[in-house]
Every structure is written in C-alpha cells, then in structure tokens.
C-alpha cells in the first residue's frame, strides 16, 4: 500500500465531481458526503463484528462495499485499507493469521475514518 502518496480526500476528484453538478438539483457533493457519513459507521460496525467472529469472507464483502463508498469521494487511504481487508479472505492465510492481520487493519481503518470524517464535515 503506497499510503504516503494517497490523500485522505482527493480534492482534485472533488473538483471534478463539482463540475458535474446538474443545475437546479441539490448540491451533489453535500449529498454524497451525507451518504458516506451516514453509511460508513454502520459498515464499520458490521466489519468489526465480522472480524471479531472470524468471519473473514463476510468481512471481505463488507470491506468491498465500504471501499466503493470511500473511493466515490476520493478517500483513497480509507479505500486502500478496505482493499487490504478485502484481500485477506482469499490470501490463503491461516484463520489466526488472517484475523490478526484484519484486527490490525481495522484499527488503521478506524483511525483513518476519524481523519476523513473531519475533512468531510469541512467539505459539506
């Protein structure tokens, strides 16, 4: 994961998205930020429970879904951490090693979400 090169939020992408704003419709960025702020916490809670119970296949699906939401607004580091969690299930690790890795990534994910959340609030 080339984390240092990635942004918490890709502002260039956000500018691009602003250029797609349809006149007369609600502000798209505000709406997307609203979607991410309201759906990401429940996705992370599900992910936490799935990893705690060792269900790495379910965690992989949840991480894939959260990755998609994160990347829609250019939350690149968040997306990369989700990708790393998503890949554990198919990586051929033992259940214990997989869970340990997932636990570590989950902590990373929570920390990144706190930063992204702050930036999202500033955007909207």
- Contact residues: other proteins, CB under 8 A: 10, 13, 16-17, 19-22, 28, 31-32, 35-36, 39, 61, 64-65, 67-69, 71-74, 76, 79, 83
Minimum Å gap between C-beta 50 and other proteins is 15
Pick between residue 11 and residue 100 the one whose CB is nearest to other proteins.
11
Pick between residue 64 and residue 115 the one whose CB is nearest to other proteins.
64
Dist. CA 37–CA 84, nearest whole Å: 21
Minimum Å gap between C-beta 16 and other proteins is 6
Q: Spell out the SS3 assignment of 20-51.
A: CCCCCCCCHHHHHHHHHHHHHHHHHHHHHHHH
Pick between residue 45 and residue 100 the one whose CB is nearest to other proteins.
45
Minimum Å gap between C-beta 25 and other proteins is 8
* Per-residue buried b or exposed e for 18-36, using 16+ beta carbons within 10 Å of the residue's own CB: eeeeeeeeeeebeebbeeb
Minimum Å gap between C-beta 22 and other proteins is 6
Residues 6+ apart with CB under 8 A from 35: 69
Strands, E assignment, the chain: none
Pick between residue 18 and residue 100 the one whose CB is nearest to other proteins.
18
């Amino acid at each position: 994961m080339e984390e240092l090169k990635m942004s918490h939020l890709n502002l260039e992408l956000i500018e691009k998205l602003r250029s797609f704003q349809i006149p007369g419709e609600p502000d798209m960025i505000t709406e997307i930020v609203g979607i991410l702020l309201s759906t990401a916490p429940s996705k992370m809670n599900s992910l936490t429970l799935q990893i705690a119970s060792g269900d790495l296949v379910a965690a992989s699906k949840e991480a894939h879904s959260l990755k998609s939401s994160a990347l829609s607004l250019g939350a690149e580091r968040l997306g990369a951490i989700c990708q790393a969690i998503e890949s554990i299930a198919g990586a051929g690790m033992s259940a214990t090693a997989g869970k340990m890795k997932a636990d570590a990534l989950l902590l990373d994910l929570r920390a990144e979400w706190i930063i992204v959340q702050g930036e999202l609030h500033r955007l909207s």
